[in-house]
Amino acid sequence: MGKAPNIPVTGHAIRNINEVYSNQLTKGQRIADYVAKTVGSWPFIILQTGIIFLWMGFNVYLVYMRATNPGYFDAWDPYPFILLNLVLSFQAAYTGPVVMMSQNRQAEKDRLMAEHDYHVNIKAEHEIKEIIKSLRVQEEALTQILNRLDAGGKNT
């Protein structure tokens, strides 16, 4: 009867990679994530759409009031809304790179997660092989015990 293998148990504490990674973020990375999360949300899209409609509507109203009432003040951004276009271009010029920074950081995090999963899988595979070896040794021992019991029962 063989000796059961001693399955090594590592003493490493299980860590949440997401938590570890989040704790190491710089302030700039946190801001980039917040901006990407905010800009990519429905409330932001709805708010921005509302602001654009208000901007255009108010300027059209001011143009109309100036045309009907000569003493009325001019619209600050009449059609074709060049100032609005400038504001939206400015927003896009800054939002695009910030979102890209957030995506690059997310890709790095995904790479680290995949690497961590790979190491966990290798460790699990090794431990499963050791468990299978142990089960085979136990099966052999049980078979020998059964054979002895059968042999002892036949002699009586």
Residue 135 pLDDT level (bands cut at 50, 70, 90): very high
Cα separation, 156 vs 148, whole angstroms = 13
Q: What is the pLDDT of residues 51-102, one digit of tens each?
A: 999 999 999 999 999 999 988 888 889 999 999 999 999 999 999 999 999 9
Comparing 2-6, 124-128, 133-137, the range with the smallest average pLDDT is: 2-6
The answer for residues whose C-beta is within 8 angstroms of residue 33's C-beta and 6 or more apart is 25, 102, 105
Comparing 37-51, 66-80, 130-144, the range with the smallest average pLDDT is: 66-80
**Is the bond into 80 cis (omega within 30 degrees of 0)?**
yes
Comparing 9-18, 51-60, 91-100, 119-128, the range with the smallest average pLDDT is: 9-18
Task: Give the pLDDT of residue 73.
Answer: 82
Q: Is the pLDDT of residue 127 over 60?
A: yes
Counting Cα atoms < 13 Å in the Cβ hemisphere of 109 gives 18
Helical (H) or strand (E) element with 116: helix 82-155
pTM: 0.66
Asked if 35 and 98 count as a contact pair (C-beta separation under 8 A), the reply is: yes
